[in-house]
Amino acid sequence: MDELRTSRFSSRVPQVLKNIPWARVIIWTALIGMVVFTVMPLLFMLTASFMTSRQIVRMPFNWIPETFFVTNFLQALRGNDGSWIFTRNILNSLFVATTVAITTVLIASITGYGIAKFKFKGRNFVFMLIMATMMIPFEAIMIPLYMVTTSFKMQDSYMGLIVPFLVSAFGVFQMRQYLTTFPTEFLDASRVDGLGEFQIFWQIVFPNCAPVIATLGILSFRGQWDNLLWPLLVAQSEKMKTIPLYISKFAEEKLTDEGAMMAAALIASIPMFIMFGALSKYFIGGSAVYESRKG
Amino acid sequence: MKPNSLTHKRKYIGIERIQARWGIAFVIPAILFFSLFSFYPILNALYTSLFDKRVLSLLPPTFMGLGNYIYLFKSADFWNSVRATFVFTFGTFMPMVVVSLAFAVFLSLVKNKKVRGMFQIAYYTPAVISSVVAAAIWLLIFDPRGLGNQWVNFILNTPGVDNKWLADATMVQLSTMIVYFWKYIGYFIILFVTGLSTIPSSIYEAATIDGANPWQSFWRITMPLLKPTVVLVSIMAMLQCLKTFGTQYLFVQGGAPRAPINVITLNIYTTGIRNQRIGRASAMSIILFIIMLIFTWVQFRTSKSEEVEY
């Protein structure tokens, strides 16, 4: 598929360059300029995390730190109050995001399978209903959602952080689209072989959805890793807070050193950078989709 | 599974029934979930918006009809939020769509597949980090002595000028737009790259044989065929911008003036959670919902009529 696309475009390239000789220069300048724009702030985060605050705001800025000021990282982990809550908060984020990724994949795939491969009354209605929830912005329902969570006594707990995101309408949509093309003959053959419906889902259908599962899992993980608004409402005690809350609290404290701020930001980004490094094709493939329910 | 003899027919119906039950069983958990965590809250917000409800008040909520909405429509603070939201939305999504389309086209002209992949990864990386981290980085760049001023002064050759990125009412709006643009530009470039890759090359080849130059090919072929993608991406970008929260929140926490960037979501948060006026916050939520519903409706209308087949 990719090979085809490449050849498609590369066949056009010589024409373009022959007809407009200066096009190449302009295009490459623009492409590289954009790289500078997108990458510079990230490099700034990296280099500033090793600097003292005086070095960070120095004019002109020196891109290579004179000393590797590791105290920043210690300060970031320790916090201004010396509570070391950062570690707990980043573990919270990892736990919540991982759980949401798993439940989203599981529930979305079973629902998508039910809608795609079973005929029952009201099937289309159910699908439309789930799709309709994509139109409801999270910001519009956060306060009633908070009250629902409180009435279940789930505020300030992992349950409260996780339950409202157990599955996403977009996930159901994606799984349903993917499974619609799944060959029904496989399912029928498995039925003839005497497999139960749940076994068929778990042993035949689920393992065959790997690419879409990866995409959806990453999307859900990232959504929670980035979620600020909901934890802001639900996580009241320090030990239930997630990493975006820690960063925003750290940023507003007067005592916070700029270098320590960047160190905290850098540590908070490492899990996503690792994931992106390892699975970039799923990130980039999966970005062609609408992210619903993002805080 | 299509039996054509009568003997099979009875058994077939039986299987169909069982199948239908399994289908319903598979779908029920999701239905329960969405009823409780999507439909109930939006209906509840609609209901609550008709009451004067406060969180820690001993008084029972009093019914006030459309009172909350009337209050909001008379409130300068709310109109300021509407203004802030729309300024941010249009100021961000329009440059974002134009620039990301241009860069997707540029990328499609890069011959080497590996190099193109590296560009895509470089553009996409900011989208990977969380919006609070993005805001934290840019808060430092926008420091009066920070890189922002140094770069701008270097490019414009105006040494020693402070552009007041975070202090000036206009500049702080521009600053939030820059952060958002920076974070999502790669995401939208890749959406357009995907859209471009669905246009068959045979069309371009035919056009070249007919004597079209690349400029003509772009405006006569790429643009018309890409129009559905452009519409879809624009609406998506618009909806995302309308929901912006993290950047503005962290900027305000970091000491930027609130009023210029007090977007609707931030206002809902402040009114509902900080000031505990749930009724009024719910009314605001419903207004935001309606605004987004209108945009989504426009999206469905346009994307339906614009569908192309090759």
Tens digit of each residue's pLDDT (9 = 90 or more) over B110-119? 888 889 889 9
pLDDT digits (tens, 9 = 90+) for A77-111: 888 888 888 999 999 999 999 999 999 999 999 99
What's the whole-number mean pLDDT along residues A236-245? 92
**Closest Cβ–Cβ partner in A20, A60, A276 for B125:** A276
Is B99 within a domain? yes
Phi, psi (deg, nearest 5) at residue B120: -60, -40
Contact assignment for A118 to B23 by CB distance below 8 Å: yes
Report which of B152, B41, B243, B235 is spatially closest to residue A148, judged by C-alpha positions.
B41
- From B21's Cα to the closest Cα of chain A, the distance in A is 8
Q: Is the pLDDT of residue A76 over 90?
A: no
> Which of A11-25, A45-59, B205-219, B276-290 shows the highest mean pLDDT?
B276-290
| pLDDT level of residue B149 (50, 70, 90 thresholds) | confident
The answer to whether B101 contacts chain A (CB < 8 Å) is: no
| pLDDT level of residue A14 (50, 70, 90 thresholds) | low
Q: Is the pLDDT of residue A288 over 50?
A: no
Asked whether A143 and B278 are in contact (CB, 8 A), the reply is yes
**Closest Cβ–Cβ partner in B48, B253, B269 for A252:** B253
**Closest Cβ–Cβ partner in B23, B36, B214 for A114:** B23
pLDDT digits (tens, 9 = 90+) for A184-221: 888 888 888 888 888 999 998 999 888 889 889 998 99
Q: Can you read off the two tokens belonging to residue B53? A: 């409800």
Share of chain B above pLDDT 70, in %: 91
**Closest Cβ–Cβ partner in A42, A172, A288 for B30:** A172
- Average pLDDT in chain A: 84
Per-residue pLDDT, A20: 59
Phi, psi (deg, nearest 5) at residue A145: -60, -40
What single-letter amino acid sits at B8? H
Query: Which burial class, exposed, middle or buried, applies to A157 when counting CB atoms under 10 A from its CB (0-12, 13-18, 19+)?
Result: middle
pLDDT digits (tens, 9 = 90+) for A260-283: 899 999 999 999 999 999 888 888
What single-letter amino acid sits at B198? T
Q: Is the pLDDT of residue A58 over 80?
A: no
| Nearest residue of chain A to residue B243 (CA atoms) | A139
* CATH code, B123: 1.10.3720.10
> Which of A50-59, A133-142, B40-49 shows the highest mean pLDDT?
B40-49
Spell out the alpha helix ranges (H) of B56-168. 67-74, 76-108, 113-128, 131-141, 147-156
Check residue B162 and give left, alpha or beta (phi > 0: left; psi -120 to 50: alpha). beta
Where is pLDDT greater, at A273 or B307? A273
Question: Which of chain A's residues have a Cβ under 8 Å away from the Cβ of B236?
Answer: 290
Q: What is the extent of the structural domain holding B244? A: 87-256
HEC profile for chain A?
CHHHHHHHHHCCHHHHHHHCCCHHHHHHHHHHHHHHHHHHHHHHHHHHCCCCHHHHCCCCCCCCCCCCCCHHHHHHHHCCCCCCHHHHHHHHHHHHHHHHHHHHHHHHHHHHHHHHHCCCCCHHHHHHHHHHHHHCCHHHHHHHHHHHHHHCCCCCCHHHHHHHHCCCHHHHHHHHHHHHCCCHHHHHHHHHCCCCHHHHHHHHHHHHHHHHHHHHHHHHHHHHHCCCHHHHHHCCCHHHCCHHHHHHHHHHCCCCCHHHHHHHHHHHHHHHHHHHHHHHHHHHHHCCCCCCCCC
Phi, psi (deg, nearest 5) at residue B306: -105, 5
- Average pLDDT in chain B: 85
Per-residue pLDDT, A13: 57
Asked whether A48 and A259 are in contact (CB, 8 A), the reply is yes
The domain total for chain B is 1
What is the C-alpha end-to-end distance of chain B, expressed in Å? Answer: 32
Asked whether B149 and A271 are in contact (CB, 8 A), the reply is no
Report which of A2, A59, A168, A17 is spatially closest to residue B148, judged by C-alpha positions.
A59
Per-residue pLDDT, B62: 81
Question: Does CATH number 1.10.3720.10 belong to domain A85-286?
Answer: yes
The answer to whether B89 contacts chain A (CB < 8 Å) is: no
Report which of B277, B33, B210, B200 is spatially closest to residue A103, judged by C-alpha positions.
B33
- From A63's Cα to the closest Cα of chain B, the distance in A is 11
What's the whole-number mean pLDDT along residues A24-50? 92
Q: Is the pLDDT of residue B139 over 80?
A: yes
Q: Is the pLDDT of residue B58 over 80?
A: no
3-state secondary structure of B277: strand
Asked whether A44 and B137 are in contact (CB, 8 A), the reply is yes
CA–CA separation, B97 vs B230, rounded Å?
8
Q: Tokens 């608004």 appear where? A: A229
3-state secondary structure of B262: coil
CA–CA separation, B250 vs B131, rounded Å?
9
Question: Which of chain B's residues have a Cβ under 8 Å away from the Cβ of A39?
Answer: 122, 125
Is B264 within a domain? no
Phi, psi (deg, nearest 5) at residue B199: -85, 120
- Across A109-118, b (16+ Cβ under 10 Å) vs e yields bbbbbbbbbb
Per-residue pLDDT, B307: 53
Is B241 within a domain? yes
pLDDT digits (tens, 9 = 90+) for B76-89: 999 999 999 999 99
Q: Is the pLDDT of residue B106 over 70?
A: yes
What's the whole-number mean pLDDT along residues A23-43? 91
| Nearest residue of chain A to residue B281 (CA atoms) | A143
Q: Where are the domains of chain A?
A: 2-70, 85-286
Q: Can you read off the two tokens belonging to residue B18? A: 């069982």
Report which of A286, A145, A134 is spatially closest to residue A220, judged by C-alpha positions.
A286
Is B29 within a domain? no
Q: Tokens 């439909």 appear where? A: B39
Contact assignment for B150 to A60 by CB distance below 8 Å: yes
Q: Can you read off the two tokens belonging to residue B143? A: 């420091």
Q: Is the pLDDT of residue A291 over 50?
A: no
The answer to whether B148 contacts chain A (CB < 8 Å) is: no
* N residues, chain B: 310
Q: Tokens 């990301």 appear where? A: B100
Q: Is the pLDDT of residue B150 over 60?
A: yes
Per-residue pLDDT, B306: 52
Query: Which burial class, exposed, middle or buried, applies to B208 when counting CB atoms under 10 A from its CB (0-12, 13-18, 19+)?
Result: middle
pLDDT digits (tens, 9 = 90+) for B247-281: 999 899 888 889 999 999 999 999 988 888 888 99
Is B192 within a domain? yes
> For residue B35, what are the CA distances in angstroms to A146, B31, B41, B46, B94?
15, 6, 9, 15, 35
CA–CA separation, B160 vs B125, rounded Å?
32
CA–CA separation, A223 vs A30, rounded Å?
31
What's the whole-number mean pLDDT along residues B27-49? 93
3-state secondary structure of B54: strand
- The C-alpha angle with vertex B102 and arms to B98 and B106, in degrees rounded to 5, equals 170
Q: Is the pLDDT of residue B157 over 90?
A: no
Per-residue pLDDT, A270: 93
Per-residue pLDDT, A285: 66
Where is pLDDT greater, at B225 or B179? B179
> For residue A266, what are the CA distances in angstroms to A57, A182, A239, B136, B191?
18, 42, 21, 11, 27
DSSP letter (8 states) at residue B60? P
